[in-house]
């Protein structure tokens, strides 16, 4: 028996949940497919907070300016304007829905993070903002009787008929077999691909399957070379690369090398509050200079009571590994954290394939440019998740889910081979090559060798998941090789300066070689929903 619904949402992070709520409010049936449990996503691990203009000394123009500066000349101006202006109403809506941001004396508490000119970061339970957003959004979604959450349903491929996305194939968690589900629209909210790298702050589910599925279906991918590396991941033997929030430096933490010397002011006048790409490269340079595997984050100038209250999860996690953040220097080094690129969309989440939408980290609206401003990701998921849901509902209001077998031509089900998980051998090989040759520092020789190795892996008989994984690695490496400059999260040691001729988005698709977009703005692709 075929499954039919009105809308399919893939992913249950902040973007997926907000999209689902927007769709359900129109009266449509929404099926949410998730690879793991409903709460398992990059959102859940977001510590720092959500950037939003709500404090008395802040305004949208300042937030917009900070975002544009961080984006290094590649932001879509209109997308940024929408983010910072609409963001306020969506966060206020979250509060109405019961999201418990931290307060003092009844008033919201704001903190400051790198490259922000104001204290505009809201946080929840100290350093568990993402988890609180997921909790409140899931609670809100469960109030909608038209939303059906289906956990442990791994989406494998998109179903395309006559150039339109009409459904997906997924592994049914009960039958343990592939099934198809059809809908008027598919909204992809599958998150990023941090697991491409040997060292990452992302959970195991962040393997970029959604990006690869869209690519194989023919969607355009944008800016895949721009990967953000978080400067301060805990670097302890045997411990996961646990993220030590940007807010720790925002509250006064300093970075020291293995000789105990503070060093960031030698690299940037903003010191520890410089943008993440600069801090990450500075740490790498300092580690090379001192012949060490890490630097240290020093929080000891702050009071223990404050640190326990402000960073409870971090405090307990470090304590588990024998570190007291109020007394000990915390060993840190960079790790992959966020993908600025992804499925190219307009300002309403529409991809270049009719019927296929994307929101959150899987997408590229141009809002982050070459480097995401800290704590803009949760805000993006809220704003563009709601917009993608609104657009999908409006665009398909006159459509009716069709039985594809009733048409003369069978739909294209992108079957790429067996559906087992990523093979251990492929994962290990890709992650190491990505870290060593397509990482924080890149050059032509390393990128060329990486591409050759990935193409060799891709030529073998791979499972769907393994092919998705190595294909994403190829997209990142090819974008990085094409971009012969350094900008934002992309740094070429052989082209260390920005070049005006590369002030363009890189666009890749399965049918075309890499090419620059004709303009910076994506918003001209398609206008507002009718």
Residue with tokens 């060798």: 449
Q: What is the β-pairing status of strands 185-188 and 356-358?
A: parallel
Backbone angle region of 156, left / alpha / beta, with phi > 0 → left and psi within -120 to 50 → alpha? alpha
Q: What is the β-pairing status of strands 164-172 and 155-161?
A: antiparallel
Partnered with residue 31 across adjacent β-strands are 8, 148
Task: State both tokens at 358.
Answer: 């994307």
| Nearest partner of 422 among 134, 122, 208, 183, judged by Cα | 208
Q: Which residues contact 238 (CB under 8 A, 6 or more apart)?
A: none
Query: Catalytic residue at 503?
Result: no
Calpha distance 435→359 (Å, rounded): 27
At residue 241's C-alpha, the angle toward residues 237 and 245, to 5°, is 130
Tell me how crowded residue 407 is: count the other CB atoms within 10 A of its CB.
Answer: 11
Q: Which residues contact 405 (CB under 8 A, 6 or more apart)?
A: none
Backbone φ, ψ for residue 431 (5° rounding): -60, -40
Q: Which residues contact 425 (CB under 8 A, 6 or more apart)?
A: none
Question: Which residue in 169, 276, 467, 492 is the catalytic one?
Answer: 276
Tell me how crowded residue 398 is: count the other CB atoms within 10 A of its CB.
Answer: 7
What is the rounded end-to-end Cα distance, in angstroms, of the chain? 35
At residue 395's C-alpha, the angle toward residues 385 and 221, to 5°, is 55
DSSP string, 395-442: HTTT-----GGGSSS--EE---S--PPPPHHHHHHHHHHHHHHSSSSB
Residues with a catalytic annotation lie at 276
């Amino acid at each position: 028996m075929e499954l039919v619904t009105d809308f399919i949402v893939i992913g249950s992070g902040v973007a997926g949940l907000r999209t689902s709520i927007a769709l359900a409010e129109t009266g449509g049936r929404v099926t949410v497919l998730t690879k793991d449990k409903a709460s398992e996503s990059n959102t859940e691990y977001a510590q720092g907070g959500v950037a939003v203009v709500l404090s008395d000394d802040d305004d949208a123009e300042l937030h917009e300016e900070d975002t544009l500066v961080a984006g290094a000349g590649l932001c879509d101006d209109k997308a940024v304007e929408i983010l910072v202006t609409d963001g306020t109403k969506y966060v206020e809506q979250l509060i109405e829905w019961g999201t418990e941001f931290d307060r003092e004396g009844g008033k919201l508490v704001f903190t400051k993070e790198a490259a922000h000119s104001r204290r505009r970061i809201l946080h929840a339970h100290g350093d568990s903002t993402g988890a609180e957003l997921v909790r409140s959004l899931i609670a809100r979604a469960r109030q909608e009787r038209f939303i059906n959450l289906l956990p442990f349903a791994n989406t494998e491929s998109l179903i395309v008929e006559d150039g339109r996305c009409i459904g997906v194939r997924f592994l049914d968690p009960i039958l343990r077999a592939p099934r198809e589900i059809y809908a008027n629209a598919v909204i992809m909210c599958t998150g990023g691909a941090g697991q491409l790298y040997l060292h990452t702050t992302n959970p195991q589910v962040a393997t970029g399957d959604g990006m690869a599925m869209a690519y194989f279906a023919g969607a355009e991918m944008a800016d895949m070379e721009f990967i953000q590396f978080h400067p301060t991941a805990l670097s302890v033997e045997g411990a996961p690369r646990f993220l030590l929030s940007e807010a720790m430096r925002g509250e006064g933490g300093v970075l020291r090398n293995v000789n105990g010397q503070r060093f960031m002011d030698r690299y940037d006048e903003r010191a520890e509050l410089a943008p993440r790409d600069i801090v990450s490269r500075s740490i790498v340079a300092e580690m090379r200079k001192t012949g060490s595997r890490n630097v240290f984050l020093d929080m000891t100038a702050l009071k223990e009571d404050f640190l326990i209250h402000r960073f409870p999860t971090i405090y307990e996690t470090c304590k588990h590994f024998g570190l007291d953040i109020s007394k000990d220097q915390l060993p840190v080094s960079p790790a992959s954290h966020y993908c600025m690129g992804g499925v190219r969309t307009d300002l309403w989440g529409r991809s270049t394939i009719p019927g296929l939408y994307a929101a959150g980290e899987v997408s590229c609206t141009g809002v982050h440019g070459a480097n995401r401003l800290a704590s803009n990701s949760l805000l993006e998921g809220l704003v563009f998740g709601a917009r993608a849901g609104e657009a999908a509902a409006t665009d398909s209001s006159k459509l009716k889910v069709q039985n594809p077998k009733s048409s003369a031509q069978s739909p294209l089900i992108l079957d790429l081979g067996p559906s087992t998980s990523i093979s251990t051998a492929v994962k290990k090989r890709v992650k190491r090559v990505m870290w060593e040759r397509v990482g924080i520092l890149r050059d032509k020789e390393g990128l060329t060798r990486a591409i050759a190795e990935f193409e060799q892996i891709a030529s073998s008989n791979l499972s769907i998941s393994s092919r998705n994984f190595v294909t994403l690695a190829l997209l990142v490496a090819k974008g990085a090789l094409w971009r012969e400059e350094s900008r934002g999260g992309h740094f070429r040691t052989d082209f260390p300066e920005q070049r005006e001729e590369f002030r363009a988005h890189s666009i890749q698709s399965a049918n075309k070689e890499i090419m620059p977009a004709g303009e910076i703005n994506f918003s001209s692709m398609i206008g507002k929903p009718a």
